[in-house]
Structure 1
Amino acid sequence: MKLGVFAVLFAQKTLDEALDYIKAQGLDAVEVGTGGYPGDSHCKPDELLADESKLAAFKQAFESRGLIISALSCHGNPLHPQKAISSEHDAALRKTIELAGKLGVPIVNTFSGCPGDHEDAKYPNWPVVAWPNDYQEVLDWQWTNKIIPYWKEIAKLADSHNVKIGLELHGGFSVHTPATLLRLREAAGDAIGANLDPSHLWWQGIDPVQAIRILGRENAIHHFHAKDTTIDPVNVNYHGVTDMQSYTQMLDRAWQFRSVGFGHDLKTWADIISALRLVGYDYVVSIEHEDGLMSVEEGFTKAVENLKQVLIREPLGEMWWV
């Protein structure tokens, strides 16, 4: 396995500055933002697609430092009912897929999106309970009319560029659990898989190790994010796991994102890494920093230190003892 980072946390640095800093930390891979919610501070798809010399220089910036690009990421909501939003995010996704193909980057990460509840809706509707039955009707309408048709088309586009799509199982979006990911994969094809991030599973009550085993048996893990979560044992009983307070209300929230090792111990993370190896995932573990108690630099470096202790780097050898 290789250790990497989602470089949008270094948006204030130039690309060269960010890559030098990442390399100095001993990392192997970089995940690059290309639009949507994370922004495109280090990568402008329109410019690179229009100019072969800029494309070559961009690629060389990584290769000259011995780094690989693990994924291009444009997390957005291409199914948003407001066309101005969905069109922008859809365009970013399509350009990112094309760019990934030209760069030889195998994965494009994003969200599944979440539509509204009818054609004239203004806001996404995320059904999370089975009754009253209205929610079941909304869910059926979304999957039949919006989610499956859109991702069938995107999967074909990805296949044509030899790219796979890593959907992050994130609350608020239609694909947020192993079951919903596999439902879409069955409908749209094997280009669809997970950008598995344990932090979003823990607060939903899903064991990441079991999620890895479920998805890994279907070869449905395309990329992996390393981010932690802590659940406050008092606040969760007050607000529940669907806590709608701002992430800035850290003292009162039911749960919050943490740097690796600050929500769960390293034995838990060792179990996660071992589960990835068990199901055949031998690609990149990409650090994502969203810890409100630490600076970017401290949260990132602590995640690097912790993951270096549990990452399995060497190829699996023969079981000499068998």
Structure 2
Amino acid sequence: MKLGVFTVLFSQKPFEEALDYIASKGLGAVEIGTGAYPGDAHCKPDELLADSGKLNAFKKAVESRGLIISALSCHGNPLHPQKAIAKEAQDILTKTIELAQRLEVPVVNTFSGCPGDHEDAKYPNWPVAPWPNDFQEILAWQWENKVIPYWTEVGKFASDRGVKIGLELHGGFSVHTPATLLRLREAAGEVIGANLDPSHMWWQGIDPVQAIHILGRAGAIHHFHAKDTSIDPINVNKHGVTDMQSYTLMLDRAWQFRTVGYGHDMKTWADIISALRLVGYDYVVSIEHEDGLMSVDEGFTKAVQNLQQVLIREPLGEMWWV
């Protein structure tokens, strides 16, 4: 396994300065945003696709520092009911897949998106209860008319270019649990897999280790994010896990994102890394920092220090004791 980072953390730094800083921390990989929610501070797909010189310089900047690009990421909502919003997300996803092919990056990360509840809707509708039955009808309409058709088409586009799609299982989107990921994968093909982020499992009440087993046995983990979550035992009883308060209201929220080791102990993270190895995932563990109690540099540095303790790097050898 390699330790990496989602470079959106360092969007204020020039690209090569950010790469120097990341390499100085002993990391081996970078995940780079290409647009939509992560922004494109370090990677402009239009420019790189149009100019082979810029493309080669971009690739050399990464490789010369002993790094690989683990994924290109363009998290957006390509199924948004407002056509202009959906088209923007769809266009950047298409360009990102094409850029990943040119850069020989194996994975593009994004969200599944979430449609509205009918063709003329203006806003996404995320059903989270089976009753009243209206919600079941909305869910069926979304999957049959939007989710499966769109990702079947995009999956083929990506597969034809040797690129896998890593969908982040995130609340508010149609694919947000291991079951919904596997449902889409069954319909759209094995090109669809998870960009599995344990922080989003914890707040939904899902054990990330079990999520790894469920998805890993199906070969459905394409990429992995390292981010923690803390659950406030008092506030969660008041607001529930679907707490809609702003992330800035940290004292009152039911849960909040933390840097690795500050939501769950290192034994839990060792179990996560071991589960990844057990199911055959031997790719990149990409740090994502969204901790409201720590600066970017401190949160990132502590995540690196904590993960260095538990990361399994060396290839498996023979079991000499067997």
If the length of structure 1 is used for normalisation, what is the TM-score? 1.00
Q: CA deviation at 1:84?
A: 1.3
Distance in structure 2 (CA, Å) of the matches to 1:9 and 1:119? 37
Letter in structure 1 aligned against 2:25: Q
Q: Map 1:195-206 to 2 at 5 A.
A: 195-206=195-206
Residue 54 of structure 1 aligns to a residue in which SS? helix
Task: Name stretches of at least 5 consecutive residues in structure 1 with no aligned partner.
Answer: none
Instruction: Kindly provide the CA deviation profile for residues 45-68 of structure 1, in whole angstroms up to 9, marking residues without a partner as x.
Output: 000000000000000001111100
Which residue number corresponds to residue 181 of structure 2?
181
**1:144 correspondence with 2:144:** yes
Aligned to 1:283: 283
Q: State the distance in 2 between where 1:30 and 1:274 align.
A: 22
Please give the alpha-carbon distance, in whole angstroms, between the structure 2 residues aligned to 1:171 and 1:161: 29
Deviation at 1:160, TM superposition (A): 1.0
Q: Does 1:271 align with 2:271?
A: yes
The CA RMSD over aligned residues, in Å, is: 0.3
1:6 alignment partner in structure 2: 6
Q: Is 1:253 the counterpart of 2:250 in the alignment?
A: no
Within the alignment, does 1:297 sit opposite 2:297 as a pair? yes
Displacement after TM superposition at 1:298 (Å) = 0.3
Q: Given residue 176 of structure 2, which amino acid in structure 1 is its aligned partner?
A: H
Deviation track 1:245-273 (CA, whole Å, cap 9, x = no partner) reads 00000000000000000000000000000
Post-superposition CA distance 1:152-204 (Å, at most 9, x none): 00000101110000000000000000000000000000000000000000010
SS at structure 2 position matched to 1:80: coil
AA aligned opposite 1:13: K
Q: Work out the CA distance in 2 between the residues paired with 1:176 and 1:88.
A: 22
Deviations 1:266-317 (A, max 9, x none): 0000000000000000000000000000000000000000000000000011
- Structure 2 counterpart of 1:122: 122
2:296 partner amino acid: V
Aligned mates of 2:239, 2:24 — CA distance in 1: 42
Distance across 2 between alignment mates of 1:209 and 1:30: 24
Cα distance between partner residues in 2 of 1:27 and 1:85? 35
CA displacement, residues 118-170 of structure 1 (integer Å, 9 cap, x when unaligned): 00000000000000000000000000000000000000010111000000000
Match of 1:20 in 2: 20
The corresponding residue for 1:208 is 208
- Equivalent residue, structure 1, for 2:59: 59
Equivalent position SS for 2:153: helix
Q: Which amino acid aligns with 2:146?
A: K
Find the residue that maps to 1:256 and give its secondary structure.
strand
- Offset of residue 211 of structure 1: 0.4
Partner Cα distance (2:17, 2:82) in 1: 37
TM (norm. structure 2) is 1.00
**Aligned partner letter, 2:54:** K
State the partner residue of 1:155: 155
Q: Distance in 1 between matches of 2:78 and 2:291?
A: 27
Q: What do residues 105-125 of structure 1 show as CA deviations (whole Å, max 9, x unaligned)?
A: 000000000000000000000
Q: Secondary structure at the match of 1:222?
A: strand
Q: Distance in 2 between matches of 1:235 and 1:252?
A: 6
Tell me the equivalent position of 1:31.
31
Aligned residues: 322
What letter is aligned with 1:228?
D
1:90 aligns with 2:90: yes
| Identity value in percent | 82
Task: Tell me the equivalent position of 1:40.
Answer: 40
Q: In the aligned structure 1, how far is the partner of 2:236 from the partner of 2:66? A: 44
3-state DSSP of counterpart to 1:225: strand
Instruction: State the alpha-carbon separation in 2 of the partners of residues 57 and 271 from structure 1.
Output: 39
Corresponding residue for residue 309 of structure 1 = 309
In the alignment, residue 108 of structure 1 is paired with which amino acid? V
Unaligned residue ranges in structure 2 (runs of 5+): none
